[in-house]
Amino acid sequence: MNLYAIFLRGVNVGGVKVLMKDLAALLQEAGFTQVRTLLASGNVVVGSEETAPSRVKETVEQALRSRYGRDIPVIVQDGEQIARIVAEYPFEAPDDGIQRHEYLVLTGSDEDAAHVLGSAPEPAASERVARLGHAICWEVPRGESLKTPLAKHFAKVASRTLVTTRNMNTMKKIHLAAQSPTP
């Protein structure tokens, strides 16, 4: 059994609200096992005999299209990819009294992440950013995660590239769920 993390860009997609209980039921109907939603923001861990994340992505997107009548793209990562992100997140907050958010901007591929970061403005002095495969690691002071030029860039590219942002606390919870085969 393989475990996969599935990330919806959002739970309100073009006027369609995807409730987590409905999403869990839909994925079970689509043949996935051990379906667990985490938080109410489009995070799901599923079990599957499938060995290719791309095939899981196709199955999930088809199920969503059939249920909601529109394309709802998702990002799918296997347990190994999630473990790598959590283990290799490169930033540790300095002890300077400034509270920070640690984020991951997830993309569908290494190439997408390189393009998103390659077209980004320089981070503000208070930010740090690095690419880790298909993910962009981003640290920003609390209260600035919607205000900096880099924050605005990430929001802008989301209109033309499949990206979704999660904080590291959420990713750690997803990592734990993706390690355990039982809900």
pLDDT in tens, 118-156: 999 999 888 999 999 999 999 999 998 889 999 999 988
In degrees, rounded to 5, the angle at the alpha carbon of residue 112 between the alpha carbons of residues 171 and 161 is 85
Structurally, how many domains does the chain consist of? 2
Q: Dump pLDDT digits (tens) for 57-85.
A: 999 999 999 998 888 889 999 988 999 99
Identify the domain boundary among 79, 96, 127.
Answer: 79
Taking the C-alpha atoms of residue 134 and residue 84, their distance in angstroms, rounded to an integer, is 11
Top-ranked range on mean pLDDT: pick from 45-49, 89-93, 158-162: 45-49
- Domain-terminating residue out of 54, 79, 104: 79
What is the percentage of the chain residues whose pLDDT exceeds 90?
Answer: 57
CATH at residue 135: 3.30.70.1260
Q: pLDDT digits over 36-57, tens only?
A: 998 877 899 999 998 899 999 9
Task: Give the per-residue pLDDT at 32.
Answer: 95
- Residue 104 domain boundaries: 83-173
150 part of a folded domain:
yes
Query: How confident is residue 92, by pLDDT bands cut at 50, 70 and 90?
Result: confident
For residue 178, tell me if it sits in a domain: no
Longest Cα–Cα distance of the chain, Å, equals 50
**pLDDT (0 to 100) of residue 10:** 64
Q: What are the backbone angles phi and psi of residue 138, rounded to the nearest 5°?
A: -145, 125
Q: How far is CA 94 from CA 88, 90, 91, 126, 139, in A?
A: 17, 12, 9, 11, 11
Sheet holding 135-141, edge to edge: 128-132, 135-141, 100-107, 163-167
89 in the same domain as 71: no
Asked whether residue 179 is assigned to any structural domain, the reply reads no
Identify whether 181 is part of a domain.
no
